[in-house]
């Protein structure tokens, strides 16, 4: 089942992931030159959003239309997936209209169910559990900036959330040194951490000490302290997460040249200072651009399976 969909990075082999990254590099140049690329002529992509989005919506829609297809935006108030209608019924109906589905949902079980009943590829555009398109993009961006990704040290500061789970899935396939530095009680899912360690490909650490964690980091990465669906906890989390803010002092304490990454949207002066966001070592907007190119590559690969 998983081979026809893009639900988790770890559903793919390292070689398959590299193929996606290399294709993304090729088509990035084509998109930038606005070359015609009619891979999806007369095809349609249904984009289901149960949560808000800027990058995922605009990059998928722009990318699919650039490749000659038509993308349909279905927002939180449109189809009522799982509320107005059963998820498996949406899968079966859209499989008859469309050629691909991209969905951003709350419960991870729901995207699995959507995929199980779909005869067309389903792409995970974020769930409460993971965000595979983002982290494929992130490693592509790291590759562009460092020309290499082997054994680089990536320190994620903040909540052990969906972003972290996808980094852990990537660490099962590519050799990395990945550190999740979070407050106690906000660690990533322990089963996912165990699986990533058991793969014995990467070095995985969980830390609660920001200045120690960032030593020798090639990248410092952060994300919002309260994810979509947790915004009512934002105030309480702010006090707990404050010591984990990425600011200039933290960037200065790595002992080497370190790049800053953020999946966006950023809440400036919470998880990251405005100064770090605006600095020339921030590659957050390269990441945002690359969502488009990497997702285009993912869609092309899925269409050929």
Which of the listed partners (ligand CP, ligand NVA, none) does 163 bind, with a CB threshold of 5 to 8 Å by partner kind? ligand NVA
Q: Does 76 help bind ligand CP (rule: CB under 6 A)? A: no
180 catalytic residue (yes or no): no
Binding mask 155-194 for ligand NVA (x = CB under 6 A): ------xxx-------------------------------
Query: 126 or 217, CB closer to ligand CP?
Result: 126
> Least distance to ligand NVA from the beta carbon of 213, Å?
19
Query: 104 or 293, CB closer to ligand NVA?
Result: 104
Which of the listed partners (ligand NVA, ligand CP, none) does 124 bind, with a CB threshold of 5 to 8 Å by partner kind? none
Query: 163 or 170, CB closer to ligand NVA?
Result: 163
Query: 10 or 53, CB closer to ligand CP?
Result: 53
Q: In Å, what is the CA distance from 155 to each residue of 42, 134, 195, 244?
A: 43, 16, 19, 11
Compute the distance between CA of residue 11 and CA of residue 127 in angstroms, rounded to an integer: 16
Which of the listed partners (ligand CP, ligand NVA, none) does 91 bind, with a CB threshold of 5 to 8 Å by partner kind? none
Strands of the 70-74 sheet, one edge to the other: 70-74, 44-49, 100-104, 122-124
> Which 223-282 positions form the footprint of ligand CP (CB under 6 A)?
263-265
Compute the distance between CA of residue 105 and CA of residue 187 in angstroms, rounded to an integer: 22
> Least distance to ligand CP from the beta carbon of 261, Å?
11
Q: Does 272 help bind ligand NVA (rule: CB under 6 A)? A: no
Residue 254: partners with Cβ closer than 8 Å, 6 or more residues away = 214, 215, 216, 217, 220
Contact stretch for ligand NVA (CB under 6 A) within 62-70, 200-208, 224-232, 290-298: 224-232
> Least distance to ligand CP from the beta carbon of 292, Å?
12
Tell me how many degrees the CA angle 206-18-189 measures, rounded to the nearest 5: 25
Contact between 177 and 152 (Cβ < 8 Å): yes
| Active-site annotation, residues | 263
Interacting residues toward ligand CP by CB under 6 A: 53-56, 126, 134, 263-265
Interacting residues toward ligand NVA by CB under 6 A: 126, 161-163, 223-224, 227-228, 263
């Amino acid at each position: 089942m998983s081979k026809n969909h893009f639900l988790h990075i770890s559903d793919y082999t390292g070689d398959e992931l590299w193929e996606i990254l290399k294709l993304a590099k090729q088509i990035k140049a084509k998109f930038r030159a606005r070359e015609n690329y009619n891979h999806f002529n007369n095809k349609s992509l249904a984009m289901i959003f149960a949560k808000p989005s800027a990058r995922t919506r605009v990059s998928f829609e722009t990318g699919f239309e650039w490749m000659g297809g038509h993308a349909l935006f279905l927002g939180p108030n449109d189809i009522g997936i799982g509320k107005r209608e059963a998820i498996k019924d949406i899968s079966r109906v859209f499989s008859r209209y469309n050629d691909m589905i991209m969905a951003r949902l709350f419960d991870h079980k729901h995207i699995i169910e959507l995929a199980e009943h779909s005869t067309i590829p389903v792409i995970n555009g974020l769930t409460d559990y993971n965000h595979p398109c983002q982290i494929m993009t992130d490693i592509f961006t790291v590759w562009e900036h460092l020309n290499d990704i082997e054994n680089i040290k990536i320190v994620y500061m903040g909540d052990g959330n969906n972003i972290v789970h996808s980094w852990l899935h990537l660490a099962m396939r590519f050799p990395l040194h990945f550190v999740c530095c979070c407050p106690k009680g906000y660690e990533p899912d322990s089963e996912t951490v165990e699986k990533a360690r058991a793969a014995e490909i990467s070095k995985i650490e969980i830390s609660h000490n920001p200045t120690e964690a960032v030593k020798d980091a090639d990248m410092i990465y952060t994300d919002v302290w309260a994810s979509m669906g947790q915004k009512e906890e934002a105030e309480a989390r702010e006090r707990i997460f404050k010591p984990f803010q990425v600011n200039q002092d933290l960037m200065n304490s790595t002992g080497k040249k370190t790049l800053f990454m953020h999946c966006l949207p950023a809440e400036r002066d919470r998880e990251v200072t405005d100064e770090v966001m605006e600095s020339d070592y921030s590659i957050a907007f390269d990441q945002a651009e690359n969502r488009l190119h990497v997702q285009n590559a993912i869609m092309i690969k899925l269409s050929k399976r």
